[in-house]
Structure 1
Amino acid sequence: MSAPSDKAQTAFAQLPLTDILQRNIAALGFSHCTPIQAKALPLALEGRDIAGQAQTGTGKTVAFLLATFDHLLRTEPTGPDGQPRAVIVAPTRELVIQIHADAEPLARETGLRLGLVYGGTGYDSQREQVAAGVDVLIGTPGRLIDYFKQKIFTLKHVQVAVLDEADRMFDLGFISDIRFILRRCPEPTQRRNYLFSATLSHRVLELAYEHMNNPTKVEIEPEQVTADRVRQSLVHVGNEDKLPMLVGVLRHTGATRTMIFVNTKRAADIVERTLRGNDIEARTLSGDVPQKKREQLLARFRSGELAVLVATDVAARGLHIEGVSHVINYDLPQDAEDYVHRIGRTARAGAEGDAISLCCEEWVYSLPEIEAYAGIKIPQLPDADSWMAQDMKPPLPRPPRAEGEQRGGGGRRRSGAGGRGQRGSARR
């Protein structure tokens, strides 16, 4: 069953949320719902399960957090104190950290205890936090299952289950982990269920109907697939000219805070070393960067100390960094959905931004699919040929590897149920 379309603005004050949630919303300066919130929240507050299609940056996190908190505040716990009443599962470390950051001000003075677990760092401290008791447990699949198998918590008393970016769960090989978690919760009819995904594909809907209670589909109209405040453009360039063009684009656009997306770690390495060799401060964020270093890089980027962040697609989802002026696709993504997620890192929170794609011989074949999915013909950047850096310096030398370190490949690392009990699982 699909929800009716309603483009009229909906004020949060019109929604039957508990008083404390209304006060917290007002304190954050929120007045009116985004489209996904306006469609999903009234249905969720009526008690319906939601299968929602929404891109990152559209407000879906606030939608499922408000629905979850409201239900928990209106109902009594079904289990002993300290056991999770809600579980929110997302595929990457950055996304669960952001969900937790969004949840804290909304949960203020509600008495709800929030827990956050993810791989790569803080194993013992996270374990102790969950053991001390939580009401809302937010985490990546591997770390959740690890602690569950140690009997640190039970899922028998979960009253709300949330899956965020369900399509990404499939992409990263987490779907068996998700089924493991959901099958240990109460039956779907005994809990509220909210699923959000960039696309409601057949595989996502199959998951929804298997583990939810007759969910209502809520979809954003196709014209809202890409942010309307993102100015998109492209440059056709030969493989050998990509680096000079990239340096030239950065020099000519006046980019203040830029994310550059690449398809492989090898490309990230050469891009970072080339930019640094040309006096452009840049660092790489990829899946194998240790968690502590990842957080330090993101903090430097958010503060403006770091001008350019080179990223593989592991960083394309779940990052909410205000003030990103430019997104540059050094490599066109192979998946059209990834293009939308990448350019969604700019023009956030009502701001404007630019997305520039370098279309080379190796990756240009993705362009027709990207344009069809986004529903636009991406214009060519005028006079871009004159921007190419003619005086580009060579890349900095590659730093020596530490003893025992192996150079990684460029492919995506997938995690399945077989590695669930290890500390290093679910690093993404």
Structure 2
Amino acid sequence: MTTFADLGVDQDIVDSLASKGIVDAFPIQEQTIPLGLPGQDIIGQAKTGTGKTFGFGIPVVQRLGADPAPGVKALIVVPTRELAVQVYEDIDMLTANRPTSVVAIYGGKAYEGQIEQLKAGAQIVVGTPGRLIDLAGQRLLDLSNATEVVLDEADKMLDLGFLPDIEKIFAKVPAVRHTQLFSATMPGPIIALARRFMSNPIHIRATDPDEGLMQANIRHLVYRAHSLDKDEVIARILQSEGRGKTVIFTRTKRAAQRLVDELGDRGFNAAAVHGDMSQESRERSMAAFKAGKRDVLIATDVAARGIDVDDVTHVINHTVPDDDKTYLHRAGRTGRAGKTGIAVTFVDWEDLHKWALINRALDFGQPDPVETYSSSPHLYADLDIPEGTKGRIASAPKASAPAKERKPQSAADAAAEGASEGTTRRRRRRTRGGERVGSTFETDAAGAAETDAAAPAAASGEAAVDGTGTHDGSGKEHHDGRPAPRRRRRRRAPRPEGGTAA
């Protein structure tokens, strides 16, 4: 194996890598670093999880020098926020032993912190196109001295959606610069387009032509599954022997959130990353997944290019990806850094035509996936699921027993209970007949007798004592026994004589 020291990397960078247990270089690093250090433009292509970030990051950091002057000297452009955070962390680790400063510029976060770091003299910027153009347009980001430019996931960056933004960014950097493009997939039209922004680039493919497009250390399983049974199948796969961290990809944001809720109800520790979440929530979910606090991450394709976690053992495609490139990026979240992994894909009946195209492009040899249900024996055998496993590891919370209704009691009993418990006063239940409505009884016996004495007095036509009105609706008494005040009627203003108002 070739070490980074053998490739001519500065000793302080070698020490930073060694502190994280990284000593030997991967093939893509071994081929691109010797060319990148002297300033050769490179188009680097290698499978996901094979160390492309260090392949372009080490030449960038080393070419800036041991103590670069303040101001942006290097620009690394990435398509997603998650990937921006990942690349920032890797580059920041490379600069741990030198004063070079790195800043991540992406949307969903407050401007103030990013602007402060730029004003403080950060030399390396890692960012997404939208926020980069925004800050450059406000003259808060000066790219006129950025002589090191990198496009990570270049096939995505040079696609039709991002291309106008990339052209704007390249118009702001110097014409004479060192440019590097890296990606796992690099179609021919994209390579032709990339040459517009480069000077005599060398195209390096760090793959074995006989190995095929997919990584040999990933086992690919494809099942034709019913949409109503997928949750149960996934829940049983999550209980397979030796399962570590797992990433589940869904087609839509709504499906991702629904699956998080469903697996949480079944007792699994799942988190989500999708476009309807705030950036802070997405970063919390990703941090919890990396730290092992959550072992299941459910995501849309927003995270297909931004999850770099070495111990992901399973990737599950809840629905078929749109194309073979998306499949490779999804499956590439497992089997990283030389480890093994399993990629499971569910194919709906209506998506068989889409799977046929992916199968042909990747030469899977599985044009007709086997029909699979949660009880299928081959599912248990393929994924080492223990016999008898069900799709729930936590029982649903038991509903609390309803409180017993209190039986009605007579006024005398209530008065006695209130007196014994020291309560202030209780309302009497409404009754029909000649009984008074709305009267109250006091907690002491004297008050009760006084209240009861008011009824016969009212019935015999005697004058009621102030404050003892019955308010039974048959008279004009107010609640205190006195006549209610007369209501004043509003007078209408007299109409003007001789015609109507104009």
The TM-score range, normalised by the shorter chain, is: 0.7 to 0.9
How far residue 253 of structure 1 moved from its aligned partner, in angstroms, is 4.9
1:211 maps to what in 2?
A: 197
Q: Find the aligned partners of 1:368 and 1:44 in 2 and give their Cα distance.
A: 40
Distance 1:35 1:244, change over 3 A: same
Q: Deviations over 1:377-418 (max 9, x none)?
A: 36868834668987779xx9xxxxxxxxxxxxxxxxxxxxxx
1:182 maps to what in 2?
A: 170
Alignment of 1:86-235 (within 5 A): 86-170=74-158, 173-187=161-175, 190-221=176-207, 222=209, 223=211, 225-235=213-223
Residue 14 of structure 1 pairs with residue 6 of structure 2: yes
* Matched residue SS, 1:363: helix
Q: Deviations over 1:59-113 (max 9, x none)?
A: 1100111111121118x97xxx432111111011111111111112211222212
How far residue 141 of structure 1 moved from its aligned partner, in angstroms, is 0.8
Q: Find the aligned partners of 1:229 and 1:383 in 2 and give their Cα distance.
A: 25
Q: Deviations over 1:184-238 (max 9, x none)?
A: 1111xx2111011222223422332111111100113352633322222122223
Judge which range, 325-334 or 166-175, deviates more. 166-175
2:295 maps to what in 1?
A: 307
* Matched residue SS, 1:349: helix
1:59 maps to what in 2?
A: 51
Letter in 2 for 1:52: G
1:6 maps to what in 2?
A: none
Q: Deviations over 1:145-191 (max 9, x none)?
A: 1111111132111111110001122458221111111111111xx21
TM-score by length of 2: 0.70
Judge which range, 319-328 or 365-374, deviates more. 365-374
* Matched residue SS, 1:317: coil
Distance 1:243 1:194, change over 3 A: same
Q: Find the aligned partners of 1:153 and 1:270 in 2 and give their Cα distance.
A: 40
1:423 maps to what in 2?
A: none
Q: Find the aligned partners of 2:93 and 2:296 in 1 and give their Cα distance.
A: 30
Judge which range, 85-94 or 373-382, deviates more. 373-382
* Matched residue SS, 1:137: strand
Letter in 2 for 1:194: Q
1:342 maps to what in 2?
A: 330
Distance 1:259 1:117, change over 3 A: same
Residue 270 of structure 1 pairs with residue 258 of structure 2: yes
How far residue 126 of structure 1 moved from its aligned partner, in angstroms, is 0.7
TM-score by length of 1: 0.81
Letter in 1 for 2:309: I
Q: Deviations over 1:298-348 (max 9, x none)?
A: 122223222321111111112112322211111110111111111111122
Q: Please say if residues 334 and 363 of structure 1, whose CA atoms lie closer than 8 Å, have aligned partners that are also in contact.
A: no
How far residue 245 of structure 1 moved from its aligned partner, in angstroms, is 2.2
Residue 331 of structure 1 pairs with residue 342 of structure 2: no
* Structure 2, gaps ≥5 residues long: 397-502
1:359 maps to what in 2?
A: 347
* Matched residue SS, 1:362: helix
Letter in 2 for 1:164: D
Q: Find the aligned partners of 1:134 and 1:295 in 2 and give their Cα distance.
A: 23
How far residue 22 of structure 1 moved from its aligned partner, in angstroms, is 3.2
Give the aligned CA root-mean-square deviation in angstroms: 2.7
1:419 maps to what in 2?
A: none
* Structure 1, gaps ≥5 residues long: 1-8, 397-428
Q: Find the aligned partners of 1:157 and 1:180 in 2 and give their Cα distance.
A: 16
Q: Please say if residues 92 and 101 of structure 2, whose CA atoms lie closer than 8 Å, have aligned partners that are also in contact.
A: no
Q: Find the aligned partners of 1:270 and 1:173 in 2 and give their Cα distance.
A: 28
Larger Rg belongs to: 2
Distance 1:390 1:96, change over 3 A: closer
Q: Find the aligned partners of 2:73 and 2:212 in 1 and give their Cα distance.
A: 34
Of all paired residues, the percent bearing the same amino acid is: 37
Distance 1:391 1:344, change over 3 A: closer
Q: Please say if residues 91 and 172 of structure 1, whose CA atoms lie closer than 8 Å, have aligned partners that are also in contact.
A: no
Letter in 2 for 1:256: G
Q: Find the aligned partners of 2:301 and 2:166 in 1 and give their Cα distance.
A: 21
Q: Please say if residues 85 and 104 of structure 2, whose CA atoms lie closer than 8 Å, have aligned partners that are also in contact.
A: yes
Aligned residues: 381
* Matched residue SS, 2:349: coil
Alignment of 1:402-417 (within 5 A): none
Q: Find the aligned partners of 2:196 and 2:19 in 1 and give their Cα distance.
A: 38
Which structure ranks higher in relative contact order (CA pairs < 8 Å, sequence separation ≥ 6)?
Answer: 1
Q: Find the aligned partners of 1:306 and 1:341 in 2 and give their Cα distance.
A: 22
Q: Find the aligned partners of 1:23 and 1:279 in 2 and give their Cα distance.
A: 43
1:422 maps to what in 2?
A: none
Letter in 2 for 1:206: A
